[in-house]
Structure formats: C-alpha cells, structure tokens
Amino acid sequence: MSSIHLVLGGIRSGKSAYAERVAAAIAGCEPVLYVATGVAVDQEMEERIQRHQQRRPHNWSTLEAPLNPVGALQGQTSTASRPLVLLLDSMDVWVSNLMLEHEGTPRLELEARIVGAARRFADYVRETDCEAVIVSSEVGHSLIATSQMGRQFQDLLGTVNQAVAEAADKVTMVVAGQPVQIKPLGAGA
C-alpha cells in the first residue's frame, strides 16, 4: 500500500534530517531510494549536497533528478525492482529548477506545468505502490520576496505544496528541528 508523507519546514529547520529518519524507519533494513533534485551550481550548493550525502546510510541509493523525477524513476526501475521507500529532497529545489528551465514561459502556463508535474509525481507514487517522503520548504512564513521572480517562486511553491499536501496521507511541519503533525494518516478535508 502506498503512502505519501510531506515534510515541510523553513530553511535550516531540520526538515531533511527528519525526513531521512522517517524514511529509514519506514524502510527498516531495506534501502531507501533518495531522489535528489539539487544541482551543484556553486561551492555553497556543493557543500550542502555533500552534507546531505554524508548523513545518509551507505546502503541508500541516489537518483539525481533535477527536472523530471518521474521520468528518472521510470527509466531506472523495472516493476520488480521498484523501491519500497523513496525520499524526494526537495520539492522547492525542483520547482526552482523547473522555473529556470522554462524561464520566459507565461505565468499561468508555467504554474500549470509545474503543479501538473508535482501531481504526476504523487500519482506515480500511488501507481508504484511505494512509500514516499517528500521534503519541501514552507514559504508562507517568510518575507515577501523583493523580486518578481522571487514572488513567482513563492506563489508557485505555495501552490505546489498545497497540491502535494492534498494528495498526502500525512503532512508534518518541522520547526527548529521539532516535528509538528499537520495532517494525520487517514484525515479527510
């Protein structure tokens, strides 16, 4: 039976470390497939990626999928070898990557494309019968960005987070390293 657990939090809130603990607990001694959306575009991002890699157990495998996690997952797994648990880290970096990839696309078209991609990922999880833990930043508690692109990112990510939270069985907000359950398993709207 598949499930989706969305883990939200601010920058440096501990959301990734918490999501890794959740994925490890679900997997037990089975490996986790870590779906990485980050790209080492500069030294700071490279260091961030290295910290995440060092924290993960050695038996976990990593799939780099900065633009199309569903396509990457379909390309690497057969029905017999699909992961029991996958961890996507992170939805906000994925949204940023897609915004940059489709720069110049009209706002409504871009929103439809990105929200559609997030919904397809949730559908894929359901179809493959795996347990997914998805990490994303919560932008609703931050200042309104001063640039048009920053505001567009905040709006898009907020909309994507809502769509994924709607599809999720469980939503947890991590604040200062402490998980706060937002949506329990089986809860309706």
State in Å, rounded, how far the first CA of the chain is from the last one: 21
CB 18 within 8 A of CB 137: no
**Which residue of the set 52, 58, 102, 141 is catalytic?**
52
52 catalytic residue (yes or no): yes
Using an 8 Å Cβ cutoff, are 13 and 139 in contact? no
Pairing of strands 178-183, 170-175: antiparallel
Token pair in block for residue 66: 């900065």
CB neighbourhood size of 181 (10 A): 11
**Catalytic residue numbers, as ranges:** 52
